[in-house]
Amino acid sequence: MRSIRSSVNVRRIGQIGVDAGLVALAYYLSYVLRFDEGIPPRYEDLLAHTIGFVVVMKLVVFAAFGLYSKLWRFVDQKDVEAIVKAVVVGTVVMIVALFLLSLERTDPPRGVIALDFLLTLAFITGSRFLWRGLVERPLRGPLLERAAREVLIVGAGNGGQQVAFELRRNPGLRSAPVGFVDDDPRKQGMRVAGHKVLGTTGELPRVLDDVKPDEVIIAIPSASGILRQKVVTACRGRGIPVRTLPTTFELLSGGVNLMRQVRDVQVEDVLGREPVRVELDRVGAYLRGRVVLVTGGGGSIGAELCRQIARVGPSRLVLVENAENSLFEIRRELEEERHFGRATAVLADCKDATRMREVFDEQRPSVVFHAAAYKHVPLMEENPVEAVRNNAVATRIVAAAAGEAGVERFVLVSTDKAVSPATVMGASKALAEWAVEAAQNRYKGTRYAAVRFGNVLGSSGSVVPIFRRQIAKGGPVTVTDDNMSRYFMTIPEAVQLIIRSGELATGGEVFVLEMGDPVKIVELARNMIRLAGLEPDVDIAIEVVGRRPGEKIHEELFNPGERPQPTHAEKIVSAVQPPLDPGWVESAFARIEELVYGGDAAGLAGAVAELSAERALVTTTRLEP
């Protein structure tokens, strides 16, 4: 760190030294150019006595305008504006000072002042852009130039310009930009960062045919899935590989080396919908300085919750996890990679009521995110007792412990499979939602809420990593039904909205995340095969294997008796429904727990189905006029 600061200071001193020489040269030349037959003696004396003062004074003004806070190779239009303002102010200060301090009433001629202003502006601006041009000049020999891969950059904004700069500056990348594609009409036909904007994304097929690049880089971190899909489709038909800059969220979470972060286009990039963006520092402000507890902290959702909560600055982050290795990994990541040193790792099972009360008494959390759950549908069908015990009974235990400990907010991470459940896993999550609603009736001092969303791309055991492994092995990619569709969003998107829902909670709500249009699983499989550079049904077979027990063709986000109601937050609605009778919930869980602890799998499955049907009937009846 000290060496970095030293390097920056050395460069800043060098910049000041160069500017001092240029300011002195401009001031001297302004006298030389003003007097064609030589500088008169009285003005020679004025020049000699004032040049040092002028140089020091202008450097102070330049520093005040931030001209030495940035490396010259990164100058842009905003820096030119700052230079003009600094030179104007410097000239005005010089005029005032010289007239006030003039020797023997000898004042500099107006022509000298005008020339000094123009020369200083030209020298200071020109030196910076000259340096930028020299640094950006590709240092390549003829052989390397011919061997370079030609890259077309989509997006001529800051991201695209930085990509072009890095490609030119680093010969080791063996790549050279050939132009930009950008939808801004003001940039069409213009040169940006030394390269021409060749057309819009709508004209991309023509541009690709004209330029024939070796690669295309999407340099728009905020690009929509529709735009990325358009680029991928145009390039795939011509056999041109596509890579992309990370999303805005990934850039904020990662490092700063742009080209190291350029990656292949992934399936989440081409979902065909606008990505969800949340101002985490603002909406997560309620977590700042508080003790936050996350159950299931080592899982896909729980671990991402921990990462994002750590960014907000809680006083302590309590990670509750039953899997030792997962707990070890997330704490190590928070401490060593994200430099968050206030994480407490608690190895505990949420199904143990005594242990949960101990954890809450010891840690005294203000906010709880309950993400611990079993989620694999077929596996839960084979193990219904554990599914209900871990997803439903454990939720009731943790919710009660939170209420008894006086927790301010409790957020349950639920799923769309809890809607009109057709599987044991879905029914267990529906029971979990009931448990949270019942806890709200019992513990009025805690704000309880549940957040319901669909499939999460890239989570452990989800369809995307399964498809990737099948594609890597050469296929076939197995799909249960040609018509099956699911809602999808990325893990960071889901977690941002979970945190936002916690801020919205006033007590007893079920929040539903708007996930765009559902995606057909077979189309997801085809897109993933194409993104791997292969052709579906030609290079990789797609095999329809039939639906598994209880598996729906289409998932839903609302129960029949629920009414969606908008909230103040974008992409979040509240599922409004008649309240549950607390006595009915207590009797339902008494019946469920008796079967769970008795190990009666057959009886449990039947009881869960009966209770789900009874709940739906009660809700529908209450909604009827």
Q: How large is the C-alpha radius of gyration of the chain?
A: 32
- pLDDT at residue 141, as a whole number: 45
What residue has token string 């190291």?
Answer: 260
The tens digit of pLDDT for each residue in 210-253 reads 888 888 888 887 777 778 878 888 887 788 888 887 654 454 44
Please give the average per-residue pLDDT across 33-61, as a whole number: 83
Q: Is 569 left (phi over 0), alpha (psi -120 to 50) or beta?
A: beta
Confidence band (pLDDT; 50, 70, 90) for 358? Answer: very high
- pLDDT at residue 586, as a whole number: 80
The tens digit of pLDDT for each residue in 120-131 reads 888 888 888 787
What residue has token string 């300085």?
Answer: 289
Q: Which residue has the higher pLDDT, 443 or 236?
A: 443
Please give the average per-residue pLDDT across 110-118, as a whole number: 87
- pLDDT at residue 1, as a whole number: 41
CATH topology for 280-455+488-514+553-618?
Rossmann fold (3.40.50)
The tens digit of pLDDT for each residue in 528-561 reads 887 777 788 888 898 888 877 767 777 777 777 7
Instruction: For residue 523, give the nearest of 567, 473, 486 by alpha carbon.
Output: 486
Confidence band (pLDDT; 50, 70, 90) for 359? Answer: very high
Please give the average per-residue pLDDT across 384-390, as a whole number: 87
In the chain, residues under CATH classification 3.40.50.720 are 146-270, 280-455+488-514+553-618
pTM recorded for the entire structure: 0.64
The tens digit of pLDDT for each residue in 553-587 reads 777 777 777 778 888 877 788 888 777 777 777 88
Question: Residues 6 or more apart from 83 whose CB is under 8 A from it?
Answer: 65, 67, 121, 124, 125, 128
CB 243 within 8 A of CB 215: yes
> Is the bond leading into 476 cis (omega within 30 degrees of zero)?
yes
Is the pLDDT score of 397 beyond 60? yes
Quote the CA–CA distance of 82 and 85 in Å, as a whole number. Answer: 5
Q: What is the CATH number of domain 146-270?
A: 3.40.50.720
Confidence band (pLDDT; 50, 70, 90) for 39? Answer: confident
- pLDDT at residue 625, as a whole number: 41
- Cβ-count burial 76-93 (b if 16+ within 10 Å, e if not): eeebeebbeebbeebbee
Q: State how far Cα 1 lies from the chain centre.
A: 27
The tens digit of pLDDT for each residue in 460-486 reads 656 777 888 888 888 888 988 888 888
DSSP assignments along 317-340, one per residue: EEEEES-HHHHHHHHHIIIIIS--
- pLDDT at residue 287, as a whole number: 93
- pLDDT at residue 2, as a whole number: 44
